[in-house]
Amino acid sequence: MKIDRRLIFNFDWTLMTLITIILGMGVLNLYSAGHGLSGEPHLKQMRWVVLGIGVMVLAFAFDYRWIARYAYVIHALAVVLLIAVFAVGSVTKGSQRWINVGGFTMQPSELVKITLIFALAKYFNDHRFENRVGIRELAVPFLIVLVPFVLVLKQPDLGTALMLMILFGSMVLFIGIRWRTLAGLVALVLLVIPLGWNFLAEYQKERVLTFVDPERDPLGSGYHIIQSIIAVGSGGILGKGFMKGTQSQLKFLPEQQTDFVFSVFAEEWGFLGALLVLVLFLALILWGLKIARHARDYLGTLIAFSVTMLLFWGVFINVAMVLGILPVVGIPLPFFSYGGSSMVKMMAAMGFLMNVSMRRYVLQS
């Protein structure tokens, strides 16, 4: 495959700068959040960042159109890994989500988020619909997302399963859906929710009940969110200072290096610091939408938009979660939360966003 030299001049420095700044703030915050914890998570996170950068380079080195040719095959392999989790996966805290490969622990459900984007983008690019889509047009793409959704839900991992459906919904709204179909689907979801309650694990039910009333069990299921809200609120306008947050340093805040890492940052840097992080994320999201708008073809637009939605929903759900606006569903904050699979996945996603951006002017490759 011939690579156009103009790609060097089309490197998106704005995208790379925003990613680098957010990554730096994330590692610095993790240093504080992980202080006193065994394993020095910030050092491990830096190794994941290095690996992520390598994956990012691979993600933008090959033309996204060439990758999309094999989207279905790659997605099928990712689904096979999800099935393999039930056979050889390790169990942690009651969930079977990880596979150990040569000392490396990977979470296939994170990989599926990327493969799903390419599979759906390929399908909607190959099947151009003149009008807004209806139930019939959505049958095949729904099956593409339904299989991994069921497998991830069975692990159980409600947060990731919902994220797959949210990505699917975001892309469907983007390409255009008939209003009657949308209204019918919303009505169906509202009817299914009460039935779905019976299929939730006990801890998942507790999370929903705790979201409704955190004070019902302040020392048990409600402890996480109560401590998170205290941490965010105690930061005030300017914060308590780096590594001076009492909730995090005294270990009152559970899961402070993963799900509630934003609470640590808000306590130490205050409202203005938290606002700065959100503004940086907003800038990255808006830049991603700009890349989608100026992509050279419809396939590139679909990929860039979906990757941007992956980032947007990750930030939105995590921040809303730690503020008590949404139930705790275990969605990490992109580039901030500790975790190898999550970090590598987001860096790969940014690599594909760079891929689309770099090739917006290239006619042949």
- 336-352 burial, b if ≥16 CB within 10 A, otherwise e? bbbbbbbbbbbbbbbbb
3-state secondary structure of 96: strand
Does the residue 364 lie in any domain? Answer: no
Residues of the chain with pLDDT under 50: 1-2, 363-365
Q: Say which residue the tokens 């759906």 belong to.
A: 120
Angle ∠(87,74,97) on CA atoms, nearest 5: 30
pLDDT tens for each residue of 100-118: 776 677 888 999 999 999 9
Overall number of domains in the chain: 1
Task: Give the residue carrying structure tokens 């730096």.
Answer: 24
What's the confidence (pLDDT) of residue 1? 45
pLDDT for 362 equals: 56
Q: CA–CA separation, 262 vs 274, rounded Å?
A: 8
> Cα(187)–Cα(57) distance, rounded to whole angstroms?
43
Those residues whose C-beta lies under 8 Å from the C-beta of residue 182, and which sit 6 or more positions away, are none
Indicate the angle between helix axes 135-153 and 108-126, nearest 10 degrees. 170
Give domain status of residue 126, yes or no: yes
Cis before 156? omega within 30:
yes
Q: Is residue 82 part of a domain?
A: yes
Instruction: Tell me if 325 is assigned to some domain.
Output: yes
C-alpha distances (whole Å) from 334 to each of 48, 132, 310, 345 are 13, 32, 9, 9
Query: What integer pLDDT is reported at residue 103 of this predicted model?
Result: 66
Residue 364 has a pLDDT of 43
Residue with tokens 């580039």: 335
Residue 1 in any domain: the answer is no
Q: Report DSSP state, residue 89.
A: P
Domain interval for residue 314: 6-358
Give the model's pLDDT for residue 365: 40
The closest alpha carbon to 168, from 127, 200, 190, 140, belongs to 140
pLDDT per position as a tens digit, 9-55:
788 999 999 999 999 999 999 988 877 666 677 788 899 999 999 99
- Side chain identity, residue 45: Q
Q: Is residue 20 part of a domain?
A: yes
Q: Is residue 58 part of a domain?
A: yes
In-domain check, residue 363: no
